[in-house]
Amino acid sequence: MREQGLLCRLKRRWVKTTDSAHGLRTFPNLLKDAKASDLSRLDQVWVADITYVRLGEGSGFCYVAAVLDAFSRRVVGWHISRAIDAALVLAVLEKAMTGRNPTPGWIHHSDQGVQYACRGYVERLLAAGARISMSRKGCPRDNAQAESFFRTLKVEEVYLQEYASFAQASACIGQFIEDVYNQKRLHSAIGYVPPAEFEQRLTDKTEKANSSGEPNRTR
């Protein structure tokens, strides 16, 4: 049947999550020429993005937004909503800011979507001392780390499930992010350890350096 082209070819509905056709201010890509070796500490660069998740038959979609620390690959903030709006990304940012304390001058990188360019989001970033960076239009590679995370989320969690409801999707995705991705999933870029373990090693190293009087170069 495959050779004769008789198999049913299913078309999966695609949902656009980036609306860059707006008149809001956008910002240059501060990471355009950056290399992985340029990162030297936590909370130096955060990367942010949004993806969609299909729910059960007739239930539509929900949207997952996340912020990652580019140095440790850890998801430092995430939120799931039925609406893809400024409230979604602001909820993520507030969660991230609650758990972290980036030094003024840190970089927040995202695409040029209206959610990230809106006044409320930009003002919150500036108030937190962030330097705002945005990908070029039509260049997903400019935000490769966030894209990679969502690809992992889809392949290792979302595509393996059939979420019957928004509540189920929220619970399962949240568990994957916190208990699997952050705590267990190995990353070659950080020495084949999970993000949480990588950060703990940095903390231990910092405490050891402080106790011995050595200079701290990790945070």
Other C-beta atoms within 10 Å of 57: how many?
Answer: 7
Residue 21: pLDDT band (50, 70, 90) is low
- Assess if residue 218 is contained within a domain: no
Q: What is the mean pLDDT of the chain?
A: 89
Stretch (H or E) spanning 125: helix 119-127
Residue 121 lies in domain? 36-212
Specify if 137 maps to a domain.
yes
Decide if 186 is inside a domain: yes
Residues 145 and 135: beta-carbon distance below 8 Å: no
Q: Whole-prediction pTM value?
A: 0.85
**Range name among 30-34, 159-163, 183-187 with the lowest pLDDT average:** 30-34
16 within domain boundaries: no
Please report, for the domain that includes residue 150, its CATH number. 3.30.420.10
Is there a domain that residue 26 lies in? no
Quote the distance between the C-alpha of residue 30 and its chain's center.
17
Instruction: Please check whether residue 129 lies inside any domain of the structure.
Output: yes
Residue 35's pLDDT is: 79
Of 50, 54, 109, the C-alpha closest to 84 is 50
Instruction: Specify the DSSP class assigned to residue 193.
Output: B
* pLDDT one-digit tens code per residue, 115-138: 999 999 999 999 999 999 999 887
Q: For residue 213, what pLDDT is reported?
A: 66
Percent of the chain with pLDDT over 70: 85
Whole-number pLDDT of residue 7: 46
* Structural domain contains residue 101: yes
Query: 149 with 66: CB under 8 angstroms?
Result: yes
> Does the residue 7 lie in any domain?
no
| pLDDT at position 6 over 90 | no
φ/ψ of 133, rounded to 5, equals -130, 140
Which pLDDT band, with edges at 50, 70 and 90, does 16 fall under? low
Domain total in the chain:
1
Can you tell me which residue has the tokens 């009087």? 213
